[in-house]
Every structure is written in C-alpha cells, then in structure tokens.
Amino acid sequence: MQLIPCPWCGPREEAEYHYGGQAHIAYPDDPQGLTDQEWAQYVFFRDNPKGPFAERWMHSAGCRRWFNAVRDTATHRLLTVYRSGEPRPEVPTP
C-alpha cells in the first residue's frame, strides 16, 4: 500500500484518499455559453503524460480537504504534495 502525505494530516494509506483528476483546470467563466463540443472538451479531455503530472486528491477519510500532488505516471511515485491554491512547486525530472 502506498502512503500519501496529506499536507495537513501527514502520511496516510492511499485507501483514505479520493482521486480528483488533473490539477489546475479552471472552471469555465460562462459554462452556459459553451457549445456542446466546448463543454465536452472541458469535462472529458485531460492531459495524459508519461512522467510528472499534477493531480487533485482529497483526504476523504481524514481532514476531507483537497490538495494537489505531482505524481510520476510511469512509476506512480509521488514527487511532491502542496495545498490547493498554492503554486505548483518546481519538480526535478527523474
């Protein structure tokens, strides 16, 4: 089992968390004004890189707060975690 370090609670088992998708995706300013194709693009299309990737996580069995993590999608290793609203820290490439 992988330990994920919550920025508020410290390291906890991955079963305590809920994955929230790609981090730093802004909600549309005028969602009502989007075409079906634009809305589908916002809802369904995300980056899928091999390597470091910023993701949203929620500590659902703990403090219930959202935070961001940079995870290497090739190795599943967490490179860093940071609170929502903070800028993404620089992560050295492995």
9-34 residue pLDDT tens: 999 999 999 999 999 999 999 999 99
**pTM attached to this predicted model:** 0.85
Name all domains of the chain by residue range, CATH numbers in brackets: 3-26+41-83 (3.30.2270.10)
pLDDT value of residue 91? 74
Looking at the chain, the number of H-run helices and the number of E-run strands are: 1, 6
74, 72, 69: which is closest to 86 by C-alpha? 69
Q: Which two structure tokens, joined as six digits, stand for 47?
A: 């980056």
Whole-number Å distance between alpha carbons of 72 and 51: 5
At residue 87 the predicted structure's pLDDT band, cuts being 50, 70 and 90, is confident
pLDDT value of residue 93? 61
